[in-house]
Chains A and B, each alone.
Chain A
């Protein structure tokens, strides 16, 4: 498939190796990544997910209901954070729980750059059965867009 996304600047990408459970240390950041969301991505996600809510592609209606502009699907932001996690884990089966609050909309301007969402994860708690809980932070222009975001993952 031809990638028709606009050219993008290299994104921040820090991936520490997935630690063994015994080596996981509470408070340690395990990954930090930038993901970019353009209007193109909103249209493509609408089609792939079947979520055609007009506030994600129609500026006129988005503004008529009090939004500053078209906003990203919350699920696209969550999906991006989730795939950053499973990319890091390698096996999606290692993800046991993943939950977020959508605290602030990601406003996607009508330009080629779109919005940049920074995703980071830190070991928050060691659980039983080789599982750890990660605190996940997602920010856009310095402001949190996901709240109380956490993931439970199983380590080797």
Chain B
């Protein structure tokens, strides 16, 4: 089934706050083989001027993926999750995420287009801190394989 192009431009409201846990950062860092002390050891993080342990750069996707799920799992969009592969991902960082902060995510569907029989869904998600400052912007392209309508 082709994706519903009426979803282009749809903005999803800010997610409920995500409290960044110190152990979650350690767990994520361990899962990706990241041994950088700044993600594990409080003193190492403070020595670099951070309040608490620092998330690895792609940790932001844990938050943005959940917010994007609001769009991706909307039945009216028509995405078959078993056919989904991740096409592109880009992060623009204002600063790293650190443990102890509360963050929200606002997601917007920027585009839907068909390329070679695949549907390509482009999403932007902004991670915002408790002071309302942007922390990181994630740009994602999601590909649904073989679902586009024949031209």
Contact = CB atoms under 8 A, between A and B. Distances in A.
Contact of A1 (B30, B83, B86, B88): B30
A75 B86 contact: yes
B73 interface: no
B96 interface: yes
A92 B38 contact: yes
A91 B32 contact: no
A14 interface: no
Residue from B35, B55, B83, B85 with most neighbouring chain A CB atoms (10 Å)? B85
A47 B33 CA distance: 14
Interface stretch (A21-29, A81-89, A137-145): A81-89
A92 B55 CA distance: 8
Which of under 10, 10 to 19, 20 to 34, or 35 or more describes the interface residues of A? 35 or more
B96 A92 contact: yes
Chain A contact surface mostly: helix
Interface in A96-110: 96-102, 105
Chain B contact surface mostly: mixed
B84 interface: yes
Contacts of A55: 82, 85
A44 B29 CA distance: 11
Interface stretch (B9-17, B59-67, B106-114, B125-133): B59-67
Which of under 10, 10 to 19, 20 to 34, or 35 or more describes the interface residues of B? 35 or more
B93 A35 contact: no
Given A83-B56, A85-B57, A98 B90 contact: yes
Nearest to A89: B36
B27 interface: yes
Nearest to A47: B31
A82 B58 contact: yes
A19 B96 CA distance: 22
A93 interface: yes
A74 B58 CA distance: 11
B80 to A, nearest CB: 9
Contacts of A78: 58, 89
A102 B87 contact: yes
A101 B120 CA distance: 13
Nearest to B25: A48
Given A91-B38, A99-B88, A75 B93 contact: no
16 contacts: A50-B62, A50-B65, A50-B66, A61-B82, A65-B82, A78-B89, A83-B32, A83-B34, A92-B38, A93-B50, A93-B93, A97-B90, A98-B57, A98-B91, A98-B93, A99-B88
Interface of A: 1, 35, 41, 44-45, 47-51, 53-55, 61, 64-66, 73-76, 78-80, 82-83, 85-87, 90-93, 95-102, 105
Interface of B: 24, 27-36, 38-39, 48, 50, 54-58, 61-62, 65-66, 81-93, 95-96, 139, 145-146
